[in-house]
Amino acid sequence: MQFIETRGNDGVKPAAVTFSEAILSPSASFGGLYVPTDIPTIDNAFLTKHLESHYKTLALDFLTAFGIDIEKEVIEAALSRYDAFDDPQNPVPLSEIETDCCVSELYHGPTRAFKDMALQPFGYILSKLAQQRGENYLIMAATSGDTGPATLETFKNQPNVKVACLYPEGGTSDVQRLQMVTEDASNLKVIGVKGNFDDTQNTLKALLASDDFKEELAARNIKLSAANSVNFGRIIFQIIYHIHSYLEMVRCGKITMGEKIYLVVPSGNFGNALGGYYAKQAGLPIEKILISSNENNILTDWIEKGEYDLNGRELVLTESPAMDILKSSNIERIMYDKFGAARTKVLMEALADEGRFVLTDEERAAIQEDFAASWSDDSECENEIARYVKKGYMMDPHTATCIKAYETLRDNPLPTVIYSTAEWTKFSPTVAKALGHPVKGDIEALTWVSGHAHVSVPPMIRGLFEKPIVHTVVVEKEGIKEEMLRFL
């Protein structure tokens, strides 16, 4: 299996690269993204074969069919990271919330957000490749929430990789901040930045673009990689849980093999939805993928109106912060798949130069063959959280955006899987507010909600409040480079 670029090839860089090259150096030559030339088929025979399989068995078989250049033993060791999830037999359990709707819970890993699903095995593989090649990598992340903890967790004490994670001081929840600043390993550095998330992200971008920082890295023999969802090494693991969720629906009798279902995906950078799209293209019986957003509803416009327009839009800070995104990277991979490289280049360059692009009617219709979209504001989400707690199911604010999509976007009354991307414990003050008991801090909210709604707080969240804080550095934007060099 080879990987090519969404914006075509410039004739200078290699026309195609292997999986390991695509994940070690994810930046392609025209600023595009790497995509696979082909996806293995997911047909009835494949699904039937795995009806009784363990998650890891399914994953290994799918990754083997993909033909990636990673040894079987390495893939197996990477997949064994799922053994640390709540139930090693089933890392992604399904819960029924309506007779025709189940929630597939992607958050049963170490940091209680769905980022673990991909980052856990990905981190193992990236470190292993670096060791095999005798190379050293630096991963830098700017985070407002879930990516930071999951990136630190996966690379903790892994050889040949260092991680530096920048977060806006005061811009994360207590739980998210503690997940980062208590993460103790010599290859990890966490730096608080005075400013908001935009300041943090811009500081990181400026640092990564600066020539003298690049020289400093070269002098230390350190290469840069990335662990965000532009890296296909994350996407590949996000195809698998869609197959698993389908099989779970068959196992629990909601559907018979071959019957179509809807998926509802709470989306930001569109990695989760892209995994579902690839699964659908490969043959998984999916009617449509329903995209849910919060007030930053630019994906709704893209899918419903065929227009993507950043002009006049300001990022709104919502109660589902992991979806507070305006530039959604992975739609580029969808457009490449549908419209080809030349058109994708035109559209993405228009977005960069003019802040917008508009699809033709035929192009919009092509997107709508696979997707529909809607969005919910914070108060709608709070209402859904409260309504489902009464029915006996606790969901986080990101998951709550899915309910409207499930209720309004289905053309056919087919069974539906909603993806839950975070455990409520990561956003407990919002949940407490939704249940009519606003409190200040996370610890009060966790205690009140768990008592009120009879839900437990897992040990890795409770334990955070007793763990020693090891990363205390908070700097002005100007001070980041010096901190970084000290760390390296």
Taking the C-alpha atoms of residue 166 and residue 175, their distance in angstroms, rounded to an integer, is: 16
335's tokens: 């457009």
CB nearer ligand PLP, residue 244 or residue 398: 398
Taking the C-alpha atoms of residue 417 and residue 404, their distance in angstroms, rounded to an integer, is: 13
Considering the complex, what minimum distance in angstroms separates the CB of residue 395 from ligand PLP?
11
Considering the complex, what minimum distance in angstroms separates the CB of residue 107 from ligand PLP?
8
Q: Kindly list the residues in this chain that would bind ligand PLP in the complex (CB under 6 A).
A: 113-115, 146, 229, 266-273, 322-323, 398, 421-422
CB nearer ligand PLP, residue 146 or residue 248: 146
CB nearer ligand PLP, residue 385 or residue 484: 385
Considering the complex, what minimum distance in angstroms separates the CB of residue 329 from ligand PLP?
8
Q: Is the dihedral of CA 431, 436, 438, 444 positive or negative?
A: negative
Considering the complex, what minimum distance in angstroms separates the CB of residue 195 from ligand PLP?
22
Cβ 7 vs Cβ 345: under 8 Å: yes
CB nearer ligand PLP, residue 272 or residue 416: 272
- Classify residue 83 by burial, with Cβ atoms within 10 Å: 0-12, 13-18, 19+: exposed
Considering the complex, what minimum distance in angstroms separates the CB of residue 118 from ligand PLP?
9
CB nearer ligand PLP, residue 261 or residue 323: 323
Pairing mode of beta strands 94-98, 101-105: antiparallel
Cβ 168 vs Cβ 476: under 8 Å: no
Considering the complex, what minimum distance in angstroms separates the CB of residue 415 from ligand PLP?
22
CB nearer ligand PLP, residue 116 or residue 287: 116
Round the CA-based radius of gyration of the chain to a whole number and report it: 21
Residue 230 backbone class (left: φ over 0; alpha: ψ -120 to 50; beta: rest): alpha
Considering the complex, what minimum distance in angstroms separates the CB of residue 105 from ligand PLP?
12
Q: Which residues contact 267 (CB under 8 A, 6 or more apart)?
A: 273, 291, 292, 293, 299, 323, 328
Taking the C-alpha atoms of residue 425 and residue 446, their distance in angstroms, rounded to an integer, is: 7
Q: Is the dihedral of CA 456, 457, 458, 463 positive or negative?
A: negative
- CA distances from residue 128 to 33, 124, 288, 328, 430 in whole angstroms, order as listed: 23, 6, 37, 29, 39
Considering the complex, what minimum distance in angstroms separates the CB of residue 323 from ligand PLP?
5
The residue among 292, 299, 249 whose CA lies nearest residue 408 is 292
Cβ 95 vs Cβ 86: under 8 Å: no
Q: What is the 3-state secondary structure (H, E, C) of 46-107?
A: HHHHCCCCCHHHHHHHHHHHHCCCCCHHHHHHHHHHHHHCCCCCCCCCEEEEECCEEEEECC
Considering the complex, what minimum distance in angstroms separates the CB of residue 16 from ligand PLP?
25
CB nearer ligand PLP, residue 296 or residue 421: 421
CB nearer ligand PLP, residue 129 or residue 337: 337
Cβ 421 vs Cβ 238: under 8 Å: no
* Chain centroid to CA 367: 21
CB nearer ligand PLP, residue 254 or residue 333: 333
Considering the complex, what minimum distance in angstroms separates the CB of residue 426 from ligand PLP?
7
Considering the complex, what minimum distance in angstroms separates the CB of residue 73 from ligand PLP?
29
CB nearer ligand PLP, residue 303 or residue 323: 323
DSSP string, 438-453: --SSHHHHHHHHHHHH
CB nearer ligand PLP, residue 6 or residue 229: 229
Cβ 166 vs Cβ 142: under 8 Å: yes
The residue among 302, 241, 303 whose CA lies nearest residue 276 is 241
Considering the complex, what minimum distance in angstroms separates the CB of residue 377 from ligand PLP?
16
Residue 454 backbone class (left: φ over 0; alpha: ψ -120 to 50; beta: rest): left
CB nearer ligand PLP, residue 146 or residue 287: 146
